Amino acid sequence: MKKALLVTTVSGFVPQFEMNNVRLLQQMGYEIHYASNYHTPSYGKDNSRLDGTGIVRHQIDFVRSPYSLKNWKAYKQLKILMEKEHFQLVHCHTPMGGVMARLAAHATGTVPLFYTAHGFHFYKGAPLVNWLFYYPVEKWLSRYTDQLMCINKEDYKRASKFHARYVDYIPGVGIDLKKIRYVSETDIDKKKAELGIPTDKKIVLSAGELIKRKNHESVIRAIARIQDESLLYVICGQGELAKHLADVVKKMMLEDRVLFTGYRSDIFEIYQIADLYIFPSFQEGLPMALLEAMANRLPVICSDIRGSRDLMDEDTPDDVKARWRICDGGIMVDKADDIEAYAEAIEYFLKDTEELKVCGKRNALKAEKFSRECVESRMKDIYKRSNTD
């Protein structure tokens, strides 16, 4: 049987985002192997979601920091694995997984080598140090890459000038629209009761890791500026800033207006109880949580960043300046840390329930372009191309 190797830095990445590709490769006759650091699971507390998938697991001692010499141990482990298993295809993801897998594949002559860039660290508005460090590394490694895939148009335009044999744009990792179930008012009330939320609350929702990049603190501080006591900000996720954000909420006396739920496996049900979705991230590739919210007919407020622009169909000329502006499916905030702009945008939306509904319906239509079926069709063609070259 043919063998395909998937590589990511942290072990929660494949069950969270790449199971569509796993199934596709399995249908094409591949035995799937997965190299990752299983001691650092993400998007959940353990690796149980990989149980029963048929995936063969390999522990690789990745660390996330690109400056850590410990990653050379991961490189050596990958080399040994590739020499032992003789894979017919390698598909890597995440920054350090992508770097070490491509180096190891080049050293061992393992081809074809696929890399999906889920958001380059160099992008319009990125710190200069990102351009000085990550850009030359990525351009150099593209020489070892048979197939480079980008999930947003800004990255694709830039990667097209690199040295990979093929460069393709893929509309994300594919959202399974069949998961969406529009529920009754009774079901909504039950879910609110389960979470301890009064039925009369207006819910602004965010979902994502509690890390600096996701920027939940800006919205918490925006909530403090809004006088509407019926407004509740619900944050789903876990992460290293959990205690810090809880301390901010306590210090600002917002315990009755901000709810932390932790990581939720029922997030599609929670989308259904929300009135508005807010995504204030500083940096993304193509934000899956924002896409899921749109598919669930939620109007959105998001920061004006790469990836989010793709979902909002926003391509505002550089000479147009506004702290926040109305789009078809919501509002885009010019600067991700503009607390006052978030407060104004939330107040603008929540005073007009009809506009919320119209924006939500538009977003559901947009989400269809990023469906699982659209992405699978594209990936199937790309994988097949590797077999015929």
Q: Are strands 30-37 and 2-10 parallel, antiparallel or unpaired?
A: parallel
Closest CA to 141 of 168, 114, 119, 123: 114
Cα 293 to Cα 277: distance, rounded to the nearest angstrom: 7
Report whether the peptide linkage leading into residue 66 is cis, meaning its omega lies within 30 degrees of zero: no
> CB within 8 A of 1, min separation 6: which ones?
29, 30, 31
Instruction: DSSP letter for 277, please.
Output: E
- Digitized pLDDT (tens) for each residue of the chain, 389 residues in all: 899 999 999 999 999 999 999 999 999 999 999 999 999 888 878 899 999 999 999 999 999 888 888 999 999 999 999 999 999 999 999 999 999 999 999 999 999 999 999 999 999 889 999 999 999 999 999 999 999 999 999 999 999 999 999 999 999 999 989 888 888 889 999 999 999 999 999 999 999 999 999 999 999 999 999 999 899 999 999 999 999 999 999 999 999 999 999 999 899 999 999 999 999 999 999 999 999 999 999 999 999 999 999 998 755 555 556 799 988 899 999 999 999 999 999 999 888 778 888 999 999 999 999 999 999 999 999 998 877 66
Interatomic CA distance for residues 260 and 258, integer angstroms: 7
Residue 361: partners with Cβ closer than 8 Å, 6 or more residues away: 297
Give how far Cα 266 sits from Cα of 129, 194, 317, 379, Å: 39, 12, 39, 28
45 vs 293: CA distance, rounded Å? 23
Given a contact cutoff of 8 angstroms between Cβ atoms, the answer to whether 312 and 302 are in contact is yes
> Is 2-174+372-388's fold the same as 177-370's?
yes
Hey, is 39 helix, strand or coil? coil
* Range 2-174+372-388 has CATH code 3.30.450.20: no
Residue with tokens 């490189």: 75
CATH code for the structural domain at 177-370 = 3.40.50.2000
CA–CA gap between residue 24 and residue 91 (Å, rounded): 13
Residues 93 and 21 sit within 8 Å (Cβ to Cβ): no
- Measured CA to CA, the distance from residue 300 to residue 171 in angstroms comes to 19
- Hey, where are the domains in the chain? 2-174+372-388, 177-370
Q: Do 366 and 330 form a contact (C-beta atoms < 8 A)?
A: no
Q: 278 and 204 in contact (C-beta within 8 Å)?
A: yes
Q: Say if residues 41 and 12 touch (Cβ distance below 8 Å).
A: yes
Give the chain's end-to-end CA distance (angstroms, integer): 20
Residue 332 CB neighbour total at 10 angstroms: 23
Q: Report the distance separating Cα 367 and Cα 67, nearest Å.
A: 37
Which amino acid belongs to residue 84?
Answer: K
The half-sphere exposure of 316 on its side-chain side, counting CA atoms within 13 A, is 21
Measured CA to CA, the distance from residue 145 to residue 111 in angstroms comes to 9
pTM: 0.86
CA 380 to chain centre: 22
